């Protein structure tokens, strides 16, 4: 027994003496702050502060601060910029143009332990990033812990985002075109390169308003044109700015109504969904469909097959399903309602009912409501680049779940819902503020 006791203590001592690295949070006060500003910490992890926004190409010095006596090195990583200089001891080194290692000669860091300089990217609207990794000893032992800190730096002004995904105008008419406010912008410059399209009665317009009136000449031929808008900062700051091109679709006659449409099945047999397909309508610039089971969608045009598809996601059994399709342009709109269609349910061999789900309103402004049958599920909202923007857990006992979409830019998103039983539901969602 005594031998076993001694062996266990020897093993414990060996583990203490064996050095390794673990992640930790909330135990070290370290920050990286812009030169001539006060350092900050947040919950004990590196907190990188900025005195002001920076322009593309700016050269900025940052100081490294640490208040833990057992910090022995700090690594700093830069994205969308290069480390153009650093000041520290002979033990420090530039690992690469985007990484620097700062460490003291005496093995312990204190207040104002180092400085590095970043030359930020010259790309307007890019986002720079600083990532600090702090290494320190734990209670004086050889164990090493580390804490991470991140901070984004907007370079210049972000490009404006149009308030609507489509601006359609009838020749000889006008409409208001707007963008969402850009942080730190004091105004906007609008311009049109086509003499048949004016902004505020001219080819250029500058002001603090986030909208302009676009006028289209009666003689302008139908087609897709564009105007551009750039944000403005205070005088002398950020000569490089990001601009946005906004399409303007011009029509001169109203579209005709669709004359037919068909429901088309898609997906696995046991979770089959029915979507709506119609033919492309001459002169139409947008399409919208809504069904009697609550489904709705803006049409997706396929010019190769000359068809428009509405992803309604209808799931059976449904008796007498109908949908109304509206084709529109800047001159007007026309509608068509399908005859009743009986949507079959899943075969008995599936052994379960499909996921009966609704998502509304579509388009969504500040929020999107999801209804799921009595099943636990997970909903994921993807943007057009297939990047996950929202992940929500849906519970069987909740009839409705509300998703906040106020923080999402205008655009097209893809909603996918999967239950624990792997039934799935997919729908295209428009966010329009």
Distance in angstroms (rounded) separating the CA atoms of residues 195 and 188: 20
- Domains with residue ranges and CATH for the chain: 21-154 (2.60.40.10), 168-251 (2.60.40.10), 254-353 (2.60.40.10), 355-433 (2.60.40.1930)
Q: Which residues of 227-243 are buried (b: 16+ CB within 10 A; e: fewer)?
A: bbbbbbbeeebbeebbb
Nearest to 274 by CA among 297, 257, 302: 297
More confident residue, 228 or 370: 228
Give the per-residue pLDDT at 264: 93
More confident residue, 188 or 426: 188
Give the per-residue pLDDT at 418: 76
String of DSSP letters for 207-258: ES-SEEEEEE-TTPPSEEEEEEEEEE-STTS-S----EEEEEEEESSPPPPP
Give the angle subtended at the CA of 147 by the CAs of 56 and 112, to the nearest 5°: 65
The label of the residue with tokens 């985007």 reads: 98
Q: Which of 243-252, 307-316, 333-342, 416-425 has the lowest mean pLDDT?
A: 416-425
Give the per-residue pLDDT at 246: 93
Q: What pTM, to 2 d.p., does this model score? A: 0.57
Digit-coded pLDDT (tens) for 205-238? 999 999 999 999 999 999 999 999 988 876 555 6
Give the per-residue pLDDT at 69: 62
Nearest to 229 by CA among 172, 178, 282, 280: 178
Digit-coded pLDDT (tens) for 380-397? 888 876 777 888 877 776
Distance in angstroms (rounded) separating the CA atoms of residues 140 and 26: 17
Strand 244-251 with 424-431, pairing = unpaired
Give the per-residue pLDDT at 197: 96
Q: Which of 172-176, 348-352, 410-414 has the lowest mean pLDDT?
A: 348-352
Residues contacting 154, CB < 8 A, separation 6+: 53, 54, 125, 127, 128, 183
Nearest to 183 by CA among 242, 129, 112: 242
Q: What is the mean pLDDT of the chain?
A: 78
The label of the residue with tokens 């650093």 reads: 86
Q: Which of 54-63, 153-162, 234-243, 317-326 reaches the highest mean pLDDT?
A: 317-326
Give the angle subtended at the CA of 300 by the CAs of 296 and 304, to the nearest 5°: 150
């Amino acid at each position: 027994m005594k031998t076993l006791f001694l062996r266990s203590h020897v093993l414990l001592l060996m583990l203490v003496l064996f050095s390794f690295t673990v992640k930790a949070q909330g135990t070290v006060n370290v920050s990286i702050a812009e030169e001539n500003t006060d350092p900050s910490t947040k919950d004990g992890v590196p907190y990188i502060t900025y005195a002001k926004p920076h322009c593309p190409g700016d050269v900025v010095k940052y100081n490294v601060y640490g208040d833990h006596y057992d910090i022995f090195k700090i690594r700093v990583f830069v994205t969308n910029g290069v480390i153009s200089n650093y000041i520290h001891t002979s033990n420090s080194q530039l690992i690469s143009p985007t990484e620097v290692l700062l460490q003291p000669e005496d093995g312990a860091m204190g207040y104002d332990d180092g400085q590095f300089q970043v030359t930020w990217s010259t790309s307007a609207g890019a986002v720079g990033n600083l990532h600090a990794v702090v290494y320190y000893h734990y209670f004086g032992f050889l164990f090493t812990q580390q804490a991470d800190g991140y901070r984004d730096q907007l370079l210049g002004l972000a490009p404006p985002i149009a308030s609507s995904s489509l601006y359609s105008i009838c020749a000889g008419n006008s409409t208001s075109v707007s963008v969402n406010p850009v942080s730190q912008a004091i105004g906007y410059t609008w311009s049109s390169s086509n003499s048949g399209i004016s902004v505020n009665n001219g080819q250029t317009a500058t002001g603090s308003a986030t909208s302009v009136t676009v006028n289209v000449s009666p003689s302008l031929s139908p087609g897709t044109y564009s105007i551009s808008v750039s944000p403005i900062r205070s005088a002398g700051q950020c000569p490089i700015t990001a601009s946005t091109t906004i399409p303007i679709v011009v029509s001169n006659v109203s579209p005709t109504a669709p004359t037919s449409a068909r429901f088309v099945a898609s997906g696995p047999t046991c979770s089959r969904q029915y979507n709506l397909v119609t033919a492309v309508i001459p002169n139409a610039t947008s399409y919208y469909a809504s069904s009697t089971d609550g489904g709705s969608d803006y049409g997706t045009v396929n010019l190769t097959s000359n068809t428009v598809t509405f992803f309604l996601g209808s799931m059976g059994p449904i008796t007498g399903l109908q949908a109304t399709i509206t084709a529109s342009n800047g001159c007007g709109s026309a509608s068509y309602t399908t005859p009743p269609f009986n949507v079959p349910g899943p075969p008995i061999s599936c052994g379960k009912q499909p996921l009966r789900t609704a998502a509304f309103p579509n388009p969504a402004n500040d929020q999107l409501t999801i209804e799921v049958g009595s099943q636990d599920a997970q909903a994921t909202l993807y943007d057009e680049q297939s990047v996950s923007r929202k992940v929500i857990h849906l519970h069987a006992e909740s009839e409705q779940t509300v998703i906040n979409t106020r923080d999402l830019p205008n655009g097209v998103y893809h909603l996918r819902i999967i239950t624990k039983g792997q039934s799935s539901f997919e729908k295209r969602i428009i966010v329009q503020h």
